[in-house]
Structure 1
Amino acid sequence: MVHYLRIGGIKMNVDKDVIVIGAGTSGMMAAISAATHGASVMLVEKNKRLGKKLLLTGGGRCNVTNNRPSDDVIQHIPGNGRFLYSAFSQFDNHDIIRFFEDKGVKLKEEDHGRMFPVTNRSKTIVEALTSELNKQKVQIELDAEVEKLLKEDNRIIGIRLKDGREFTAHCVIIATGGKTYPYTGSTGIGYRLAKKAGHTVTPLFATESPIKLADTFVQKKVLQGLSLQDVTLSVLNEKGKIRVSHTMDMLFTHFGVSGPAALRCSMFVNQALEKHNNATLSLDALPNKSFKQLVHELTTVKEQQRDKAIKNALKGLLPERYLEFLLEKAQIDGARPFRQVEASELERFAELIKDFRMSAIGTYPIEKSFVTGGGVNLKEIDPKTLESKLVEGLFFVGELLDINGYTGGYNITAAFVTGYVAGKNSAQIASYFHY
């Protein structure tokens, strides 16, 4: 079937119904969805292969999505997750699971609802998507970088590549990703295209990123390499009140803290640093015990093991290095017999266990972080279709949007969902021109 585009009232041939820019998670899903819903589709990728960044996800195993209830998934997308409610009503995390299983990809569930291919290989997911693109007869242009969006009367009409070639289309979906891991192709071109089309881009920041600390114990490498399990890390506001807390594992590093708890707090650290020079973190090493319970437990151990050195009597309460570190912070000589330790000293020690303060001064830069925070302003995007409110036929999906979630399959879920919904709705718009 020959399709047409009206430019300046003149009827012209159109190359494709839908062009998708970027063959990552959201882009491949968008192309598949548009083709499945009847559109002729072209997928344009600047790299020499598809899914380059997708191959790195989940430590090379690809955390495809999360099996929690859909509402829980949205709750784990703190960066404007609510915007996705309408998209999730059309295609959600459970649909992602069905999509891959229908393609013969067996998935398995691990801790916290994370879903992985049984093969433990990201390549399995990329191959399944590539196979479906071929099955749906999507035209794939590799090693092809987009230079410009083509518009006419505030409507998208196609794209121009850097090599000078132009392709016309009824709809264009931009799926170029954020600015993390730029060597995979995520160089921020999508933000530039969005701005040239008249869109605003909110400030970009690193999220799901290790946190840098200014504290002297970091500079002296006192705790470097120490891992703590099931601790609660909190970001405090300027009044000392908890802004966000996460109970997960954490790792002390040569620059500060990393591990799941730190990564999840990083977004809020960066937001605090926009207003102030530093951000205060609070670490509770024993979140399952209240301060009163802890003091009572310490007092009981003191009564039972009066003659033992305090650091020996409390062995097993905390990892040894952290125990000795906090005793020193509390100005308690760990070699002292427990009977010599005053009640006030025990309370001071308990306070440090429950609320050890650290001063955050930054995170890794966006290029070295897992996820880009900020992006194309959501006020300018229709949440039901992912179409631009400013330019007809232009869609934005994935990490390019001002949406960011925690690690654990949440960002990739948002990418697959927005890709699918934009693909479906772009195909529907393109169908209006089939006459």
Structure 2
Amino acid sequence: MKSFDVIVVGAGTSGMMAAIAAAKAGSNTLLIEKNKRVGKKLLLTGGGRCNVTNNRPAEEIIAHIPGNGKFLYSAFSQFNNYDIMEFFESNGTHLKEEDHGRMFPITDRSKTIVETLFNQLEQLGVTIYTEAKVEKILHKDKQVIGVAIEHEKLYAPCVILTTGGRTYPSTGSTGDGYKLAKRLGHTISPLYATESPILSNEPFIQDKTLQGLSLQDVSLSVLDSQGKVLVEHQMDLLFTHFGISGPAALRCSSFINQELAKTDQQPVTLRLDIFPQKSVQELSGEIKKRLLEQSEKSLKNALKNLAPERLLDFVLSELGLSDSQAKQVSEKQLDQLVQHLKSFYIKADKTLPIEKSFVTGGGISLKEIQPKTMESKLVNGLFFAGELLDINGYTGGYNVTAAFVTGHVAGTHAAAIAEYTYLPPLETE
């Protein structure tokens, strides 16, 4: 019979940190991974460079985790993004800061981060089982007693589930943890894609009119069925052959999916402001000035460089002004042009599925988890961390930060509880 103090299921970002924290606290720790090697998904983050955390105050980081970020306040008071940076620096892995506070290893290789975590696991004597899939959590009288893998039962008074969400299933994120938790009575909040490109059936998208056009520093808003703004992001945007992508679109995606669920999958209206830094009056005044100064030119030439040429051509075509002269434009047409540039409406039909998105929204209901310890309120000795939880953030190091933080907190508290938890006789479960 093999027994441990703490068993961690899933060797991703949160799982490796949970195992390290538990072992550091003195626990005999086992880390189980169904892949051949640890950290498979972490290798893909930040475009293979690993955006390991973000160098911003905790308040700001939590504000960038729109999916239940406030749940993390207690965890952040115990272990935060600066502790993550200190962890890597103290282990010889130096980090550098890029735009918006994003932190990367100076090697620009995610492999460096995975190797640092793996070396720590080895130094701390963590037992690692790879190519092993947990089929069941063993429990008795609402107390965890271990896990069952194929042909073997492994015992421990504390088990931490860190199996990830459902994005990038090729990395092993196939939703196993949700099934294991559900069997123990936990509620799974509906899963949805977040940080995902947006699909649209608008004719100009289907005709690929603007495909490949990139817009800098524009504002994209998601509107509800009453036309109220749910969220707005001022960032870059990219038109694609299927819809829109780029940072602004990715950040709006979770709100689109939640609105689609509310409206029985009716298309969601997006509003694009191509000149968010200018008011309607300012933009109108600028265009009027151009038309007066270049009245003998065509409207298209008079407005040259106001906006990207393909976008301007499209907007003028939509308004029937493609062949107009600058001096012919009426006040009403000018107003319509300004409105089009300030409120360019796009219908979003859906986003890419979870499997092709960056982050999973939804997950283990937080009402059933202690925010201070990450322990289940339903089963003693059962802990959760990482993307399995109903927590999701924007890209930029926020999700990885949440995974490291919840992993460390779960590992630390599991180790403390394992010290004094009596395991019931093991014949039954």
TM-score, scaled relative to structure 1: 0.95
Aligned residues: 421
The aligned counterpart of 1:110 is: 98
* 2:85 maps to which of 84, 89, 97: 97
Alignment-mate amino acid for residue 398 of structure 1: G
1:157, 1:258 → 2: CA distance? 46
Asked if the contact 1:108/1:115 (under 8 Å) is kept, the reply is: yes
Alignment-mate amino acid for residue 75 of structure 2: A
- What's the C-alpha RMSD, in Å, of the aligned pairs? 1.1
1:117, 1:271 → 2: CA distance? 34
The aligned counterpart of 1:225 is: 212
| TM superposition shift of 1:237 | 1.1
1:92, 1:291 → 2: CA distance? 42
* 2:349 maps to which of 361, 365, 374: 361
Asked if the contact 1:63/1:116 (under 8 Å) is kept, the reply is: yes
| TM superposition shift of 1:331 | 2.0
Residue 239 in 1 paired to residue 226 in 2? yes
* 2:193 maps to which of 206, 209, 216: 206
Alignment of 1:132-147 (within 5 A): 132-147=120-135
* 1:63 maps to which of 51, 55, 60: 51
For residue 61 of structure 2, give the secondary structure of its aligned residue in structure 1: helix
* 1:285 maps to which of 269, 274, 296: 274
1:110, 1:353 → 2: CA distance? 32
Alignment-mate amino acid for residue 96 of structure 2: K
1:310, 1:241 → 2: CA distance? 34
2:300, 2:97 → 1: CA distance? 41
Alignment of 1:112-191 (within 5 A): 112-161=100-149, 163-191=150-178
| TM superposition shift of 1:323 | 0.8
Asked if the contact 1:60/1:121 (under 8 Å) is kept, the reply is: yes
The aligned counterpart of 1:302 is: 291
* 2:66 maps to which of 70, 75, 78: 78
Asked if the contact 1:272/1:278 (under 8 Å) is kept, the reply is: no
The aligned counterpart of 2:202 is: 215
1:14, 1:188 → 2: CA distance? 27
For residue 221 of structure 1, give the secondary structure of its aligned residue in structure 2: coil
Alignment of 1:264-343 (within 5 A): 264-276=251-263, 277-333=266-322, 335-343=323-331
Alignment-mate amino acid for residue 66 of structure 1: N
| TM superposition shift of 1:14 | 6.5
| TM superposition shift of 1:313 | 1.4
For residue 66 of structure 2, give the secondary structure of its aligned residue in structure 1: coil
Moved more, 184-193 or 233-242: 233-242
1:361, 1:434 → 2: CA distance? 53
| TM superposition shift of 1:434 | 8.9
Alignment-mate amino acid for residue 317 of structure 1: L
Deviations 1:172-209 (A, max 9, x none): 00000000010100010000000011101010000100
The aligned counterpart of 1:5 is: none
* 2:18 maps to which of 4, 19, 30: 30
Deviations 1:193-236 (A, max 9, x none): 00011101010000100001121101111011111111101000
Deviations 1:383-420 (A, max 9, x none): 00000000000001000000000000000000000000
Alignment-mate amino acid for residue 308 of structure 1: K
* 2:239 maps to which of 243, 252, 255: 252
Deviations 1:76-132 (A, max 9, x none): 000000000000000011111111111111101111110000000000000000000
1:37, 1:18 → 2: CA distance? 11
1:69, 1:328 → 2: CA distance? 47
Deviations 1:228-249 (A, max 9, x none): 1111010001111211000111
1:122, 1:144 → 2: CA distance? 24
Deviations 1:329-358 (A, max 9, x none): 22212x422111111111100001000111
Asked if the contact 2:157/2:422 (under 8 Å) is kept, the reply is: no
Residue 387 in 1 paired to residue 375 in 2? yes
2:98, 2:241 → 1: CA distance? 30
The aligned counterpart of 2:399 is: 411
The aligned counterpart of 2:37 is: 49
Gaps of 5+ in 2: 424-429
The aligned counterpart of 2:181 is: 194
For residue 421 of structure 1, give the secondary structure of its aligned residue in structure 2: helix
The aligned counterpart of 1:8 is: none
1:321, 1:137 → 2: CA distance? 60
Asked if the contact 1:66/1:408 (under 8 Å) is kept, the reply is: yes
| TM superposition shift of 1:433 | 4.2
Asked if the contact 1:18/1:42 (under 8 Å) is kept, the reply is: yes
Alignment-mate amino acid for residue 303 of structure 1: L
Asked if the contact 2:89/2:95 (under 8 Å) is kept, the reply is: yes
| TM superposition shift of 1:363 | 0.4
TM-score, scaled relative to structure 2: 0.97
For residue 204 of structure 1, give the secondary structure of its aligned residue in structure 2: strand
